[in-house]
Every structure is written in C-alpha cells, then in structure tokens.
Chains A and B, each alone.
Chain A
Amino acid sequence: MLSDLQEPQRQDSTFDGPLDGQFLKLLLEASLTWLRTNQQTVNSLNVFPVPDGDTGTNMVLTMQAAYDEISASPERNFGKMAHMVAHGALMGARGNSGVILSQLWRGFARAVDNVEYLDATGFIHALSVARDTAYKGVVRPVEGTILTVSKDVAAAGEQALAKTDKLCDLLEVIVQEANLSVQRTPDLLPVLREAGVVDSGGKGLFFIFEGVFRFIHGQSLDAVVTTVQPLSSMNLENALETIEPGQDYEVVVDFQPYETLDLPSFYGSLQEMGTSIQVGEGDGIYRMHIHVPTEKRYHPIDYVMTVGTITKVAMENLLAQMGRIEPSCSENQNKVSPAPVDPGQIAVVAVAPGMGIARVFASLGANAIIEGGQTMNPSTQEIIHSFENLPTDKVILLPNNKNIILAGKTASELTVKKVAVIPSRSVPQGLAAIMRLVPDGDFDNVVHEMTEALDEVETGEITIATRNVEIDGVEVQEGQIIALLNGKLILSSQSLEDACLGLLEKAHADHFELITMFYGENTNKNEVYRIVDRVRIEYPKQEVEIQEGCQPHYQFIIAIE
C-alpha cells in the first residue's frame, strides 16, 4: 500500500544546520513514509509460525499517530515539537513494538526539552536517553529486539561524535549500525534464528532511520522495497488478511529470471497492477505474490513472462473464497451487551478477539469489551478510551494476549483512573481471572485474586502455520495445522482433529475436569461437531463444552481446567 502522504520535499543542503521544529516534521514524515513503504516487509518477519501481531502495521500506525499530532502545527521550537510527537506516538501506540517505539520518542523528547534547535551533540544525547527510557519501559527487556537496535545505534552515535559533529555523517553511521544490529538479532534471540528471520521491530526502527537518511540524500521514499525475502518467509497468510476492496484476485507466479532481476523496475511495474506485492527467492527460483482487480488478473503473468521463465502460476478469487466459508459467526447476531457498573465499583475491560468470546466475557461481568487480539492489537488510545467511558474510576484490564499487555500497562499510566492490568496471556487465562471478579470488593484483593487465577487453566491453541520452520524440535510445514500449549508449539499435523486430540493428550486433559472449546470464525461447524464428538468419546470423564468464539486465525482456543 502506498502512502497517502505527499513525498516530503527534499532538502539536501539544510540538514547540517541546526534543526527546528518544522524540520523535525519533515523528517518524521519521511521516516513514516519509508516505514509505510516497507510495512509489508516488516510484517512478514514474524518470529513465530502463527500470524502474530503485525509489527509493521503497528509501527506505522504509531508513527502515523505521532505525525498526525504535529502535521498542522506551526511550532518552530524543536523540543516542543518533539514533545508533541512523543505524545502522539504514546496515544497511538499499538502492539509491543509500537509501545517501545513510543517510549523511544518519549525519551528523545525528554532529552531535547527546551532545545530550540537540534545539533549533533543534542541528537546523540537524545538517542541515548531514548534508549534508556525504552529499556525502562519494559519489565524484562529482551535482547535481539528493537531495544537492542536502539542501544547499538546510541552507542555507535556516541563513538562517531568523537570524530565528527556533522549530523549528516552521524546519520550515516547510525543507519549503517542499525542495519548491522538488525542482522545480528538472530544471534541474540534463538527464536529468530530457528525461524530464519531478523527481528521485525528492529527492522522497523531501521526503516525509520533509513527514511530520514534517504530523505536528506534526496532518495525516493515511496518506491517500494527492492529487497527479496527468503521464499520460506513469504507470509501469504497475512497477505490474505489485508484484502482491499477491488483487489479480488491473488496471483502467485514462480519464475526463473532470464538475467539478474532488476528489482526496482520489477516492483515498479507490478505496482501499477496491484497491491500486497511480495517477492521471494530460494535456490534461484523467484516467487511473486500480488493482489489485483479482476480485469488485471492476467497482467502480472504476462509481465513476468517478459523477465523470466514461468514455472508455476496460482490464481485465486479471493472474494469467492471468502464466500465459500460458512459464516458461523454472523455479525448482527446477539450483540454483545457488557454488564452495567456503578460508580465506586470495580469495572473490568476485556480484550476479546471474537464476538463469541466477547459475549462470554460480558456474561461473566466484563463492563467493556475492546475488540482485538492476534494481528489486531488495540492502540493505547483505544484502551484509554475504554477506561474513560466507564462511570467508575476503578478499572481492571484483561489483555488476554501477550502482545497487548504492554500497551495496557502504558494506557494504565496515562489515565487518572486507578487501573490494574492483569497479565492474562490468553482467552482462557482471562476467563479464569474474571471468574474472581467481585465488583464491590476491595480493589487490591480482587486484583490479587484475579492474578492468582491465571495459573488455574491450561491454554490450548490450534492454528495454521504461515511458514516452514522448526521450533522446539517440532518441524512445521507452511499450511500445516499446529497446536500450542500455553504458548509453546507442541505439534504439527495435517488434520484439525488429530491436532486437537494430540493437544489434549499432551496437556494431560484426562487429569482435568473440564474442556472448553471455542471454535473460530472460519472453522467449519460440521467439523467442529465431529471433533467435539471425538473428544467426548476420548475423554468420557471430562465435561466437554463447546462455544462459538468467532476468533480469527485460531481454529480452536481450548481451555483445559
């Protein structure tokens, strides 16, 4: 997807002069544009073989919010402008990487407080304060992530400052170091190495710096990526998520180029035909993926024939494919009605990834529901809104996803209300916690009880792998069904039924009392009944409950307790 923004005006010459607030605006716009151009690349770097929180999308939305905050401001003072940027980023922060990005901005702004014009020393100082602030914003900082990149960049900047005080030269060092640091992330984080990718958040930060660099060197910001991903990492599942109206066909072409592929011109040509462009390479075979409108469905094939020998073509009508899926979760059916809450009572805000799950939370006393979960992390702002719409000032948040906990914590610090974030990492954990809700109880006691309840349930998740990978000794082929127990990949299978039964066996479900199966929005209902019947036969002593969850991506979310 291309930017709605005008490409910022190029200003090669003025960069080394002291920078004012208006110049910061230009730089921010440049990095936002460049990040957006490369959004899909960042998205495709998921570290786990499930459609994880869209890092690129989250970072773009965070940067967009930051930009929106200042786009109309005439402010010339650099420090004041930076504070506005930080505020906007904080309000718009989505997902873990978005929250960390907003913390980087916060530190950056703090360092340039009262700075009218930014100079080289001030810039490098701000990078180190940004790094410190980001590290402090995370309970257990993990190396090999965006944090590491921010640290390496700050260190490289400090070293370079001894040799030059030219912003332009410093920036070059920083961009180079960001790139190297991103390349090193798999050495620090085994999960990245196993998956054969670099860290997505770190890569996003690299694009932000690189956007500024390209801008001051007058390079194009909206020309699409000219890099090729490994074939195995092409995240076609995720691409399906982002169908735009009018782009009805998905076309995938495998080909061998006649000669070295001229990527910029290749991308440029494809871009005139459609969206969601991805190019992958493995063993000399290239794979091109694109979404195109009906009338252009043969264009990409014709075009690829001009640059190479086509070995395989796959074309899918996305709309027809969507229609084929039985809509088990009709949207207008049973609107969710959250429980009422009175002033002075404790309210619960629950993040729910599907209507069915939202209804269950509401029935158990949730007073507000935020839609969200995997690949759709709510922003800090949305979370704050949900707090502020409640008539009480005591609020408990159930994020129900590991990627939303941090945004929840940030939101809790930005409201005048008394908010506790119970770190529920899954829907079953959230349900176990809300069971302990006593709206009229003592706040601290209730929070304590709810937190204790998190460990009372085992969480099973059944989903489809989006890449070939080996993790924890489990080998997974793209498109296979995989099962996760308490967030850990435990098996892969060709059949949904075998995955469910295998999961229950590994979870020792026969030692428990109750198995609750929430089926997803795209899970075929007949198959659900068939599988649940099998589970009932295999587990005659356990109560087996079946619930419509309507969650995307996960065929089943299973609570074992």
Chain B
Amino acid sequence: MSGDDAPEPESKPELGWRAREIERELPGLGLIVMQARIARAASLNARSPAGVEDRLRELSNRFRGARAVTLRREPVPAAYRAFFRHVGLDPDVVRTPIEAVALERMLRGGLHSGGLIEDSLLIALVDTGVPVWALDAAAVDGPLGIRTSVEGEPLGRSPRAAEGPLPAGRLVVADASAALAMMFGGLAADHEAKGGTAEVTLFAIKVPGVPSLYVEEALWMCRAALEQP
C-alpha cells in the first residue's frame, strides 16, 4: 500500500458465532476472529523479518525448563487444561498448545523459526498462552463460528480432503459452508495460509477463565508480526 492510498478500515477482533447447543452447554467458550493483511511481498514461507526472528529468540531464551514445569499452574494454561478435560481431551495425552511448545522447546533446545506465519502464531502463543490459528482469508466463506460436526462431514471444502470424514458431534471451527478445523486440532489443508496468501483470517478460542484481553492481545500480536514489511 502506497502512502497516497486512502487508509483501509482497521480490522478489529470480532466474536464468532456459536451453535445454539454450544452456547447453552459451554457458555464460556468463544471464538474471536481478526483479519490481517500480509504487508511484505516475499512468500509467507520465506524467512521471517529480523524483528520477528529477534522476538522469537528472546522468547526462546526466556522460556526455560523451569517454566515448562510450572506452566500448568499459570492461570491461562491452567484454564486450557481444564477446558480440554471438559471436552473429552486428556491434556496429559493430547497436550495443550502451550505445553506442546514447552516440550518442543526442551527437546529442540529452542524455539526455531519456521516462516512468518508459524513464527507469528508461536510468538503470540508463548507470550500470552493463547493459541491462534491462521486461515487463508480467500478460502473462508462468511463469518467463522463453532459448531459440532455432522456424521461423515469432511474437514474442508475440497472433495479430496484427506482429513475427513469426521464423526458426528466433534467440535469444529466452521464457516458458512464447511468445517475448517477441528477445535485445538489441525486446519483443513485447503484452507491453511500458504506462501502466496495475501490476507489471513486469524482466530483464537477463548475458554472459561481466560480474559478476553489475553485473547485479543494474542491476535493483535500475530497481526503486528504479519504486517511487518
């Protein structure tokens, strides 16, 4: 965007929709969505800008083994652990995103850069404890929300979707026409942000006990990293 262009309207974090049964059963659960434009011309898979890599290195140095142990007692990671149990996931078997990163950090000896998208999401997760996911905005049809899956439904719109079919009743993040991600799981391959993606839809899952401020901070942090030239 050149300096002469009119400023584009600022995207803010927005609350996603929830299916009625989820609203009733898990009233503290929410989906917060935000758009981000990729500022730089290089591929998203290319090396991150120096500022992002520096931030990642700094976080890697701060995120030591001792914290990995006490992490489960911190309010935000603890809230995600409890919520995992509420939806049938055992956090000692299926690790929460922040605990998975802590383990990875110890095994690999650091937080390693994996391209701009991956780094931005990682920075937000380590700094706030809130996991964020990024979808290719061009592949999203309408507003995002949380619902349960229908028996045999594929993950993603593509008929070749490798992840499907889903069993009935799984919690998924969906747009108007398809399930795009299993909650706390992987994204549908045809909806992930790729090298040439110009705009991404960021989303984070707010669980009971996590203040909205943390979730929004995670999204803003991601966006700031993605919008670095």
Report whether chain A binds chain B.
Answer: no
Tell me the B residues contacting A by CB distance below 8 Å: none
